[in-house]
Amino acid sequence: MPSVATAASGQMARIVETLEFADLTVKDTYQSVFSLSQFPRACAVAGNFQFYKAVKVVWSYEPLYNTFQSGNAAISKPYIYMLMNRTQNQNNATTLQNIQACGAKPRALVSKIVIAYKPNWCSAGLTAVVPGPTPGDRNYIQQGLQAQYGWLASVGTPVSLQNGNPAGTAGKFNPPEISSVALDPINQNLDNSTSTLANLVNNTVYNGHTTFIDQETVGSEGQVIARLTCTVEWVFKGAVFNAPIGPQSSSVGSLRSPPTA
């Protein structure tokens, strides 16, 4: 039997890509999240496959300084707090006290710190239906989020990034503004009305941990303290390619006799 190309999961790819975020500052809360849209090479590969997922992420924190002292214009030793946040139940308003209340312990940020884990995205949890003030009215209340580790739909066409440089959006909870395709599944409400649920392909947020860098004595306002890099292992499956392809010349790939002298 001849070999036939199919869209089966047997067609797969695996790559590793590293992204450097903007340097971290002290006294700020960071949500360590990312999306496929921030990784240009992974986006290019995803355009050839039906599904993708991140199977491993490695976060590296490298202090920018190695000397701390007392006295005038002093900069004290920094300490970093980390707390897992897989269900997005924290945000950039989370304080150091909130993180400490959850049991996070300080680590001196005087040498490189590396953490690695399997990232996840979130789907909606249970939805409660609450009767409204007038007959027939209904209110819908989302009850939590569910951590997911499965495959996500890809765009099927190479995506060009409008904001490929993540500087200034380092680790923030909101994903960058990009050019992406929206899938619009129809949601049937309980009152027989319909609404559209937008799913931004390639822009699903992967979680996630929360960090806070604390210093007793800091330098100038917005003192940068550490470099942050994020290395993600991406996997892809299912052959697909939706970009327009024109017809090829009939002479391409044909066998011709060599010219005679």
Q: Which pLDDT belongs to residue 108?
A: 93
CA distances from 96 to 71, 239, 244 (A): 26, 46, 51
pLDDT for 97: 93
Residues 183-213 as b or e (16 or more Cβ within 10 Å = b): eeeeeeeeeeeeeeeeebbbbbbbbbbbbbb
> Nearest Cα to 103, choosing from 81, 70, 130?
81
In 85-202, beta strands by DSSP E? 107-108, 113-117, 121-131, 138-148, 152-153, 182-183, 186-188, 194-196, 199-200
Cα-flanking dihedrals φ and ψ of residue 106, to 5°?
-75, 145
Quick one: what percent of the chain has pLDDT higher than 70? 67
Positions of the chain with pLDDT under 70: 1-9, 67-74, 91-92, 142, 156-201, 217-222, 250-261
Q: What is the DSSP letter of 101?
A: H
Q: pTM for the whole thing?
A: 0.74
pLDDT at 227: 94
Of the candidates 8, 57, 36, the one whose C-alpha atom is nearest the C-alpha of residue 154 is 36
Q: 6, exposed or middle or buried, with CB in 10 Å at 0-12, 13-18, 19+?
A: exposed
What per-residue confidence (pLDDT) applies to 199? 45
> What confidence tens digit (pLDDT) does each residue in 153-179 have?
887 666 544 343 333 334 443 333 322
- Assign domain 13-239 to its CATH architecture: Sandwich (2.60)
pLDDT of residue 100: 94
